[in-house]
Structure 1
Amino acid sequence: MFAEVSEDDITDLLELKDSKSTKRCITHSLKSFRGFLGEDNEFETFDKPKLNEKLRLFFASLRKTDGNHLKKSTLTNYRYGLTKYLKEHCSIDITKDAQFAGSKDVFKAVVVNLKKKGYASTEHKPPISKEDLQKLYNTNSIAINTTTPYGLQKKVWFDIMFYLCRRGQENLRSMTKNTFAIKTDSSGREYVHQQIDEYDKNHRDEASPDDTVGEARMYAREGDPLCPVLSFKLYLEKLHPALNDFWQRTKDSFDITDTTWYCKAPMGKNSLSVMMPEISEKAKLSRRYTNHSIRATSITAMDESGIEARHIMRASGHRSEASIRSYSKRLSENKQREMSDSLNSILQTNQSDNINHELQSENAKGDHNITVTTPEAQPLLGLSAAEIEALFSYETTLEEIPVTPMDITVAPQNVCVSDNQNKENSPHPAVSSNVQLSMNNVQPWWNTHTMNLCPNITNSVVNFNIYK
């Protein structure tokens, strides 16, 4: 049995084989090239040498409207659009035909020049940091509060994007209540999976029959209030029964006991495209993440967990392991922080060594009349805390009286020693002598603004001039 088809039907089929983004790329490339050619812009009639020469000049002269250089990715898009159009309408492949070697060489030279000038970098969407994930995904998060229509929808959306490795906003608008299904595996665990294949970026006319959009599963977490399957079931229950769209607009007002929390109206593409940015702001995350950041987070997490790239491909829908490795090549925020801290520790160690060296040099000069010697077996006189406090409570001297070595290793934390005492206005007789202080693990209570010692001196003997 065969259906009747017209030329218009075939034309429509051919039109549908390319994505909207591909069509935009071709249209924009043709418009720019015809604009460059001026009046003689029917390049489909050019012979190959003339077309090659025009392409050479076109690639070399392409600029933004403000005169600045294009990014490498933009230049590549121009070439892709022209290549695809010429293949389909003129049976010419400007990337492989030897007669277009000149324009090919110029294109490569321009790309190299853009790299040298810093126009070749690609801005990757960053994965969500662990700190932000913890802030977002907890029972106290208002952004995914399942007792409200807004929070429930945002949580289900995030769960599907995260567990099923969905692209930023691809096919979100076309999802229906039948796109996903709940099943039970051989062990008895429930899970959500995507049951309808899609026509997406990696699965088009050239895809093999074995290719699928993704084999990832979103398993239930029994006893967890944030169980993704539990949230998914609740969301299905609260959707408007008369609308088959999966993403529906939330009601302006609701009661938690209402059977329906959503309107008989689907969410628009623009609203779906900013779901993660809205969640970022609602949860007060450290930055405004994009929808694609969730996919980057999932793939990065699986890669860091040791899951093989070939298995991740089956979940994410990637068609090559190289695409998976592009995620694993990027440094996570935690790893970047760890690397910087390791370098900081080296600088701080050097700084500490320099400070200790300067202190030792200052002490060696005798500016404070302090000397540090290695410990020796010396008779030490044990004093109580009160006696030590009395000893250091006097500030002036009239005559020198010898004092024998004293053990002050049990000195209280509030005792301070100063070598810069006022010796003129005291009624007490003078005492001046070298007092040996055993500094076994003495803590930084030595430090005052008048006498600075390294706070970590241990197991040493220090000589002071004491005035009483």
Structure 2
Amino acid sequence: MSDSDSNAIFITQSTFVEKLSTDPDTDAVLSDILDMQENTQPNFNLRNSIFSDISSADDESIVQCSMEMEKMDSRFRIPLNTVDLQNMVDSGKSAKTENKTRWAINLFANWQKERERVTKSKQYSSPILEMKDSLLNEALSFFIGEVRNEAGSDYRPNTMYELLISIQHHFRTNGRFVSFLDDKTFSGLKAVLDSKMKELSKKGIGLQRRQADIITQEQEEKLWTKNILGSDSPQQLLDTMIFMIGLNFALRAGQEHRNLRYGEHSQICVKTDTENRTYLEYTEDVSKTNRGGIMHRKLDPKVTRAYENQKQPEKCIVKLNTKFIAARPDNCNNDAFYLRPRKYTQGNVWYQDAPVGVHILQQTVKRLCEQAGFQGFYTNHSLRATAATRLYGAGIDEQLISEKTGHRSNAVRAYKRTSDQQQCDISNILSGNSNSVKVPRLESANGGNTEINIETGAVKIHVKY
């Protein structure tokens, strides 16, 4: 049968189907036509009515695709609203940055009210986001020149700078891109800020940055001998884990501790190296310098290790971690790494199904040092600075120190502290009272003697060869 005949049959079939309801005599004719087509008509008995003209070779992929479509509803969340999206955006912001921004905006609003009261003028009283650039330049210039802290004293120069940058951040998060320090429109404001910072520096205000004190080896030993650190009680073990993790992984303040998780997605896991040595590995997910967003998508996370201490098992971070994890409650619903200690333990369960608050974590190192009677400024940052300083004192390369702390710039230098002995040695060198070691050097390019001079107090040794 030719193609034209086949087409004619289908047309005829269609015509007879339409007449079935009105002309019963067509039944016989239709039956004959269907018999003729039995061996030539394609099979349209498909699995799914949305597909057509698909060969049997594609059946498997069709079935798979259909199954995926049936599962599609589980791949998406319940529809979100704008509030849900805003909460998602807010959760990705730095809490510290947002707090500074609220402080700066509230401070500016209070300045507006006070200036209006004193001058009886509403010139700078309009909402800050509604001010035009020229008016904003004037208002912020007067604000920077007049603002004081609650005690009526000047802020530090760096605080003045952060105050302005926080207000700039407020503008940008509200869809208005301004650049107070680069845009010529705000050149007057920049000049006022620069002059104000110089004026404060001349007065000696803010020249000394308040940095967290480091914890020496001797001080740490006192924490252990006084049983401030240890593993004999829930609170003591919790404090020790915060101390050891902060020191060995060089974490920042309390928020990075609060971000630690337990379970499948924990940043801390137990591993064994090629020499069969056990260690804890910490993999950073988010931090001050790596928020995990668009701008940081290409940054490699910090990955660092803390090996088991076989010589002092009571101070071994791996063993302490094992005991700490085993003391969690069964079927714990909370994935926070640090859980609140139970007042009364239940067998091996030492902790509640509730996380330790960030403020408690932030105060831990300060509390421990106060218990030990240490005088100074101690915070969780002390552990980070201690890690960098100990490595620096041991002659570890700065690159390796940066890998431990996670610094991606020369900022690691601000965390390294010169010890009292190093400062004393420097002073003795300048005063001529130091022990000195001269590196071997060649006396003459044509040959000659190489000399090493070692001077120790009144004893002098001269070696020539």
**Inter-partner Cα distance in structure 2 for 1:146 and 1:35:** 50
Once the two structures are superposed, the pairs formed by residues 49-448 of structure 1 within 5 Å of their partners are 49-88=134-173, 89-120=175-206, 121-137=208-224, 140-178=225-263, 179=266, 180-195=268-283, 197-204=284-291, 205=293, 207-225=295-313, 226-243=315-332, 244=334, 245-254=336-345, 258-287=347-376, 289-320=378-409, 322-328=410-416, 330-336=417-423
- Residue deviations 1:67-97 (CA, integer Å, cap 9, x gap): 2111123212211111112234322222211
**Identity across the alignment (%):** 23
The structure with the largest helix share of the pair is 2
**Inter-partner Cα distance in structure 2 for 1:206 and 1:111:** 34
Secondary structure of residue in 1 paired with 2:353: strand
**Inter-partner Cα distance in structure 2 for 1:131 and 1:173:** 28
Secondary structure of residue in 2 paired with 1:171: helix
1:10 equivalent in alignment to 2:85: yes
Q: TM-score, normalised by structure 2?
A: 0.66
- Residue deviations 1:11-47 (CA, integer Å, cap 9, x gap): 3333233212211211121222233334422233333
**Inter-partner Cα distance in structure 2 for 1:98 and 1:288:** 42
**Inter-partner Cα distance in structure 1 for 2:91 and 2:343:** 37
Structure 1 position 287, deviation (Å):
4.4
Structure 1 position 202, deviation (Å):
1.1
User: Contact (CA 8 Å) 1:164, 1:214: kept in 2 or not?
Assistant: no
Structure 1 position 124, deviation (Å):
0.8
Which ranges in structure 1 are unaligned for 5 or more consecutive residues?
347-468
1:334–1:261 Cα change, 3 Å: farther
Structure 1 position 2, deviation (Å):
7.0
Structure 1 position 270, deviation (Å):
2.8
**Inter-partner Cα distance in structure 1 for 2:350 and 2:84:** 41
User: Contact (CA 8 Å) 1:250, 1:261: kept in 2 or not?
Assistant: yes
1:31 equivalent in alignment to 2:122: no
Letter in 1 for 2:369: S
Determine the structure 1 residue equivalent to 2:18: none
User: Contact (CA 8 Å) 1:135, 1:285: kept in 2 or not?
Assistant: no
**Inter-partner Cα distance in structure 1 for 2:166 and 2:227:** 45
**Inter-partner Cα distance in structure 1 for 2:200 and 2:342:** 50
- Residue deviations 1:154-192 (CA, integer Å, cap 9, x gap): 222211111111112123234332322101112211111
Aligned residues, how many? 339
1:291–1:339 Cα change, 3 Å: same
1:288–1:313 Cα change, 3 Å: closer
Which ranges in structure 2 are unaligned for 5 or more consecutive residues?
1-74, 114-121, 434-465
Letter in 1 for 2:83: D
User: Contact (CA 8 Å) 2:213, 2:377: kept in 1 or not?
Assistant: no
RMSD: 2.7
**Inter-partner Cα distance in structure 1 for 2:428 and 2:327:** 49
Q: TM-score, normalised by structure 1?
A: 0.66
1:311–1:113 Cα change, 3 Å: same
Secondary structure of residue in 1 paired with 2:343: coil
Secondary structure of residue in 2 paired with 1:216: strand
**Inter-partner Cα distance in structure 1 for 2:287 and 2:342:** 31
Determine the structure 1 residue equivalent to 2:96: 21
**Inter-partner Cα distance in structure 2 for 1:58 and 1:149:** 51
Structure 1 position 128, deviation (Å):
1.0
1:287–1:240 Cα change, 3 Å: farther
**Inter-partner Cα distance in structure 1 for 2:405 and 2:130:** 44
Structure 1 position 337, deviation (Å):
5.2
User: Contact (CA 8 Å) 1:190, 1:220: kept in 2 or not?
Assistant: yes
